[in-house]
Amino acid sequence: MRSSKPASVQIRRRDRALPWLAPALLMLAVFYAVPVLDVFRLAFSDATLVRAPTAYSLETFSDVLTNAVLPEILLTTLIFTGLSVVVLQLVGLMIALLLVRGERRGLHGMAAFRTLVLAAWVVPGIANGLIWQMLFDEAPYGTLNSLLGFVGVGPVAWLSDPVMAMVSAIIANVWQGTAFSMVVFYAARRAINPTLYEVASVDGANAWEAFWAITVPQLRLAIAANTILVSVQTLNTFDSILALTGGGPGRATEVLALFTFNTVFYNLDLAGGSVLALILFALGLAFATLIFGWLRREAA
Amino acid sequence: MTKLSFATAFFFSVSAVSLGAPAVAQDLVTRTMVGLPDAPNTLTFRLTAFDLYSSDDATREGFEALFTDFIRARPDWKIETQLQTANIGQEQARILQQTLAGRGPDCAMIDSSQLALFKENGVLQPMNAVFSEEEVADLFPYVREAVTNEAGEVLAWWWFTDLRVLYRDTSVVPDAPQTWDELKAAALAAAGEGREGILFNGGRWEGTAFDWLANFWAQGGRLVDDDGEPIFADGENREKFLTAVAYVQDLVESGAAPQRVSSIVNYDAFNAAAAAGTAAMFIGGNWQYGQLRTTLPPEAFANWAVSELPGPTADDRATGTGGWTIAALTDDPDKAALCGEIAKEIYAGPGNALQGLLPTSASLYEQYDAYDGPEFELFAEALQNGVSRPGAAIYPEISNQIQILLGEVLSGSADPETALDAAADAVRAAFERL
């Protein structure tokens, strides 16, 4: 729709708005844009943690992108992120629907249940890793293995087997991140018009049919938005893995964010770490663009 | 004053003294500070979690008392404490980077293996005002060389050294294994009795590389040459490296060691296993002897003994020696002096004796009764075969690659030769970028 205001009035209004927006723009520039630009600058340099850049070239990009370990790291990241995002969405959705249904039926303890799930969200990543490290301890007196032993299962090599170590890292990540998905889906589910369910009920639809015909289609924008947010969060996860497995055994749980951290703090390679940070940034951006594109097509 | 009012006043005075005094003593040491918050001068001190904030009650209380006495004698100062995590390599790199950027702590504990890197970067400030020439001369030669520069300035104080030894439950393993074969046989016999035969660090952390390196060094292997260039995967060193990897791989594959060793990333895991009575042997640090003494019931502790790490033959032995230093990173001479005083008055000497850590000055062994035990004779003997990590900038990455290699081999996801080639390539690439 075209504006009915003359162009000169619009320009005057924009000029008047700029001074009011300037502080916010300045803050954004200082705290977000400058560090990101500095990562770009360092990626083209030969900087180490103990030496300022002495030259600028594409050599660091070439070294990092031809590193034989990178494909393995990217595959680990893909598995960790992909499985985490799927499970986070499913568990978050299940808890959100459980809460909504429980509240609708006036069940006691729903607020306590919601608080309990949210409590895991505020636990710092390092603490999360340490908590699960104690639970997954494979010693004969380890918590989970002892419990499994009572029912005649196990022991399970939670952290010493490469495949199980990945499963353990995903469990720890899901335990902490579920609350976020739950909040997103809970809010979206509450916003669905109850009349739709009433009509479906009159038409004889059971709960399963109502879920697929009403809930899922109505939640698809929330699912898309949550996928972006949870994916970016998971891509950047390294602290809980650092505390839980350190990336091991071997490189079995060394995701890109942790590899970036190790490149900087073990190799002291600030330039290499910056290139890896840019790869991480590009992956997150590409994924977000993909989902946003889909959202815009849906909106249209 | 009437009799009643005097009695009342006396009661409240006694109550104030008896209740108030401990409260004041406790308040002087908090989770983030030593001293009174309104003291005019502040020193920031980044320390490890092994002493003042130790999870061991006796150690923590002992250091709280030492720090309380120290700060009471200096009421104009407060010490803001900053804890380092157990991830030594990354913590040390962060301290160095922050110091170079002008945001580092005034005083910090520096791992002895990282000291050369800090010296190379010129961030350590002299603490000569605190340490006399006699005190410097009394340091063990390798320690003195590490903490001083060519001008004879004291750039750090290496306040304790340590070494790795073999712990064994003598009720299961009566005789100390002298060779790798003897250790495997003893561990298998213990495993047959339902115990975990031998435990060692095998997860992704510095302790794994350091403890395993004793097996490489026992054969005369070298990680870097005199110029600090990595040579561990070349020529004879390659054979020795693979032999040492095959030794620990065989321990796991034969069942002498449980597979869970590849997830162990903390020496405390061994104390826990000893307390639970599930392990027959473990490779630990000498400091754990004191911890076991305070953790285990006396009758259980009496079963535990230490011995030198076994070698490929009884004559070829080595043990990794490490320890921590305290160094001033500030250019304020008063703060640098206070940092040195912390090292001298709290840690070197009383702090060593409190934890049973090995002092780096010969005279301190005579000064404290804590070093009268027979275990210290064993430690002194084992130190003859002590090898310290190379003071080369590439060491942290070599350690990182050894951790990855051992994790992959012990979990069965790579064979030793392939893993060594990958490690060598990664170290070479990192070295070229340094």
CB spacing of B429 vs A165 below 8 angstroms = no
Residue B60, CA atoms < 13 Å, CB-side half-sphere:
10
B206 touching chain A per CB within 8 A: no
Q: β-pairing, B41-47 with B157-169?
A: unpaired
Residues A51 and A82 in one domain: no
Beta carbons of A180 and A121 less than 8 angstroms apart: yes
Burial of A115 (0-12, 13-18, 19+ CB in 10 A): exposed
Question: What pLDDT score does A203 carry?
Answer: 92
Number of A/B CB contacts below 8 angstroms equals 127
In angstroms, the separation between the Cα of residue A231 and the nearest Cα of chain B is: 26
pLDDT in tens, A250-263: 999 999 999 999 99
How many other CB atoms sit within 10 Å of the CB of residue B331?
Answer: 10
Q: What is the mean pLDDT of residues B211-220?
A: 97
Question: What pLDDT score does B203 carry?
Answer: 95
Residues A52 and A72 in one domain: no
pLDDT in tens, B19-57: 444 444 457 999 999 999 999 999 999 999 989 999 888
Of the residues A60, A82, A97, the one at which a domain ends: A60
Chain B neighbors of A261, CB-CB under 8 A: 90
Distance between CA atoms of residues A250 and A144, nearest Å = 23
Give the chain A residue whose CA is nearest to the CA of B86: A243
CB spacing of B433 vs A267 below 8 angstroms = yes
Residues A160 and A36 in one domain: no
Distance between CA atoms of residues B405 and B415, nearest Å = 9
Question: What pLDDT score does B11 carry?
Answer: 42
Tell the residue number behind the tokens 């070295």, with chain if given: B431
Chain A neighbors of B400, CB-CB under 8 A: 262, 266-267
pLDDT exceeds cutoff 80 at B10: no
Residues A186 and A243 in one domain: yes
Q: What domains can be seen in chain B, in order of their start residue?
A: 35-161+322-375 (3.40.190.10), 163-320+384-433 (3.40.190.10)
Question: What pLDDT score does A4 carry?
Answer: 52
Helix, strand, or coil (residue A266): coil
Residues A128 and A266 in one domain: yes
Q: What is the mean pLDDT of residues B120-130?
A: 93
Q: Domain limits at A31? A: 7-60
Residues A56 and A171 in one domain: no
Asked if the structure places residue A1 within a domain, the reply is: no
Residues A141 and A283 in one domain: yes
Q: How many domains does chain A have?
A: 2
CB spacing of B269 vs A126 below 8 angstroms = no
Of A34-38, A81-85, B83-87, B291-295, the poorest mean pLDDT is in B83-87
Residue from the list A49, A137, A251 with its beta carbon closest to the beta carbon of B93: A49
Q: β-pairing, B304-307 with B319-328?
A: unpaired
Asked if the structure places residue A2 within a domain, the reply is: no
Task: Tell which A residues from 217 to 256 touch B, by Cβ distance under 8 Å.
Answer: 242, 245-252
Strand partners, B44: B80
Residues A92 and A35 in one domain: no
B260 touching chain A per CB within 8 A: yes
Task: Tell which B residues from 110 to 129 touch A, by Cβ distance under 8 Å.
Answer: 117, 121
Residues A24 and A92 in one domain: no
CB spacing of B90 vs A261 below 8 angstroms = yes
Q: What is the mean pLDDT of residues B192-212?
A: 95
In angstroms, the separation between the Cα of residue A81 and the nearest Cα of chain B is: 21
B148 touching chain A per CB within 8 A: no
Q: How confident is the model at residue B366 (pLDDT cuts 50, 70, 90)?
A: confident
Question: What pLDDT score does B15 carry?
Answer: 42
Question: What pLDDT score does A13 carry?
Answer: 67
Beta carbons of B357 and B351 less than 8 angstroms apart: yes
* ipTM of this complex: 0.84
Task: Return the structure tokens found at B319.
Answer: 């043990």
Residues A151 and A20 in one domain: no
Question: What pLDDT score does B2 carry?
Answer: 40
Asked if the structure places residue A177 within a domain, the reply is: yes
Chain B neighbors of A247, CB-CB under 8 A: 204
Helices (H), A151-206: 162-190, 194-202
Question: What pLDDT score does B12 carry?
Answer: 42
Choosing among A268, A274, A275, A276, which should be mutated to test the B contact, i.e. which has the most B CBs within 10 A?
A: A268
In angstroms, the separation between the Cα of residue A268 and the nearest Cα of chain B is: 7
Percent share of chain A, pLDDT over 70: 95
Instruction: Residue count of chain B, please give it.
Output: 434
Beta carbons of B155 and B325 less than 8 angstroms apart: no
Question: What pLDDT score does A250 carry?
Answer: 93
A148 touching chain B per CB within 8 A: no
pLDDT exceeds cutoff 90 at B132: yes
Chain B neighbors of A250, CB-CB under 8 A: 404-405, 407-408, 411, 413-414, 419
Task: Tell which B residues from 392 to 421 touch A, by Cβ distance under 8 Å.
Answer: 393, 396-397, 399-400, 403-405, 407-408, 410-411, 413-414, 419
For B167, phi then psi, to 5°, come to -100, 140
Beta carbons of A244 and A132 less than 8 angstroms apart: yes
Task: Tell which B residues from 337 to 356 touch A, by Cβ distance under 8 Å.
Answer: none
Asked if the structure places residue A257 within a domain, the reply is: yes
Residues A41 and A90 in one domain: no
CB spacing of A161 vs B259 below 8 angstroms = yes
Burial of B365 (0-12, 13-18, 19+ CB in 10 A): middle
CA angle A177, A179, A180 (to 5 degrees): 75
CB spacing of B93 vs A126 below 8 angstroms = no
Beta carbons of A73 and A247 less than 8 angstroms apart: no
Question: To the nearest 5 percent, what fractions of chain A are helix, strand and coil?
Answer: 75, 0, 25
CB spacing of A249 vs B263 below 8 angstroms = yes
Question: What pLDDT score does B18 carry?
Answer: 40
Residues A144 and A275 in one domain: yes
Distance between CA atoms of residues A260 and B272, nearest Å = 33
Chain A neighbors of B430, CB-CB under 8 A: 267, 269
**Going residue by residue through chain A (300 aa), what tens digit of pLDDT does each one get?**
444 556 666 666 666 788 888 898 888 888 888 888 999 999 999 998 888 899 999 999 999 999 999 999 999 999 999 999 999 999 999 999 999 999 989 899 888 988 888 888 889 999 999 999 999 999 999 999 999 999 988 799 999 999 999 999 999 999 999 999 999 999 999 999 999 999 999 999 999 999 999 999 999 999 999 999 999 999 999 999 999 999 989 999 999 999 999 998 888 899 999 999 999 999 999 988 988 888 788 777
Distance between CA atoms of residues B261 and B412, nearest Å = 13
Of the residues A60, A77, A97, the one at which a domain ends: A60
Where residue A271 sits, what CATH number does that domain have? 1.10.3720.10
Give the chain B residue whose CA is nearest to the CA of A63: B429
Distance between CA atoms of residues B131 and B154, nearest Å = 8
Give the chain A residue whose CA is nearest to the CA of B92: A265
- Count of helix runs (H) and strand runs (E) in chain A: 14, 0
Closest CA to A50 of B156, B426, B117: B117
